[in-house]
Amino acid sequence: MRGRFITFEGGEGTGKSTHAAMLAERLKSFGIRVQLTREPGGSPGAEIMRHLLLSGVARPLGADVEAVLFAAARDDHLATLIRPALEKGRWVVCDRFADSTRVYQGAAGRVDPKIIRAMERVVVGDTKPDLTLILDVPAKEGMRRATERRGEGTVDRVEAEALAFHEKLRDGFLTLAANEPDRCVLIDATLSKEEVGEQIWRVVTKKLDPATAPIEFEDAAS
């Protein structure tokens, strides 16, 4: 039986990585085999492309080429990690996926959404998420949290963009949640970590019913 594919989406500083990891642990505690991963990256080839994209090295090539690189990274990630894991019956929890391209490069960026849709059809095909949790906080609060988390570290390329861009990101994710209500669930991420974790768990149990998943423990052969 194919595993379930859950993605986390949202702007900067919404807590996706924390909650993706918390959900993966909670599913594992039920005996479900879980593959926690992220985009861009998640496989050795895609991590190389992550570096090119987030360091800003690829920026002079233009927005269209950056979108192609995100798609190429996703293609490698799907082929080498996501699809094999789902075929083995594992649940895949992924911190960002194709919706990030739709919103960052499309709705809030400069790439024609038609091109993004076409690349998504080719790259993602039938491997669509069963559930997408969109973590929502006001743009200003998200930026404040991202700055706090970064501390003295370097500012990555996207975080350095103006507040207006972050507002566009938020609108893009809100529109996505409204347009695809069967797949996407909006989570109020302004609440405490525990409360957000509980909201997410309620949605996952209601939509995907982990209690019916085949149970295998971590020391089982992979």
- Alpha helices (H) along the chain: 16-28, 44-54, 63-77, 83-87, 98-100, 113-124, 139-150, 163-179, 193-208
Check residue 5 for interaction with ligand TMP (CB under 6 A). no
User: Which residue among 96, 166, 168, 170 contacts ligand TMP (CB under 6 A)?
Assistant: 96
- 86 or 159: whose CB is closer to ligand TMP? 159
- Residue 132 is inside which H or E element, if any? strand 131-136
Q: Which of 95, 89, 86 is nearest to 21 (CA)?
A: 95
Q: Which of 94, 24, 34 is nearest to 215 (CA)?
A: 34
Cα–Cα distance measured from residue 23 to residue 188, given in angstroms and rounded to the nearest whole number: 16
Check residue 14 for interaction with ligand TMP (CB under 6 A). no
Interface mask toward ligand TMP for 68-87; x: CB under 6 A: --x-----------------
Interface with ligand TMP in residues 153-172 (CB under 6 A): 158
b vs e for 159-181, b when ≥16 Cβ sit within 10 Å of the residue's Cβ?
bebeeebbebbbebbeebbeeee
Shortest distance in whole angstroms from residue 210 CB to ligand TMP: 25
User: Which residue among 35, 100, 132, 199 contacts ligand TMP (CB under 6 A)?
Assistant: 100
Interface with ligand TMP in residues 20-79 (CB under 6 A): 39-40, 54, 70
User: Which residue among 14, 37, 43, 101 contacts ligand TMP (CB under 6 A)?
Assistant: 101
Check residue 120 for interaction with ligand TMP (CB under 6 A). no
Cα–Cα distance measured from residue 50 to residue 154, given in angstroms and rounded to the nearest whole number: 16
Shortest distance in whole angstroms from residue 217 CB to ligand TMP: 30
- 176 or 213: whose CB is closer to ligand TMP? 176
Q: Candidates 22-30, 94-102, 176-184, 207-215: pick the segment binding ligand TMP (CB under 6 A).
A: 94-102
Check residue 107 for interaction with ligand TMP (CB under 6 A). no
Check residue 132 for interaction with ligand TMP (CB under 6 A). no
- 39 or 76: whose CB is closer to ligand TMP? 39
3-class secondary structure, 135: strand
For the beta sheet containing 91-95, the strands, ordered from the edge strand earlier in sequence to the opposite edge, are 34-38, 91-95, 5-10, 131-136, 184-188
131, 203 contact by CB (below 8 A): yes
Which chain residues interact with ligand TMP by CB under 6 A? 39-40, 54, 70, 96, 100-101, 104-105, 158
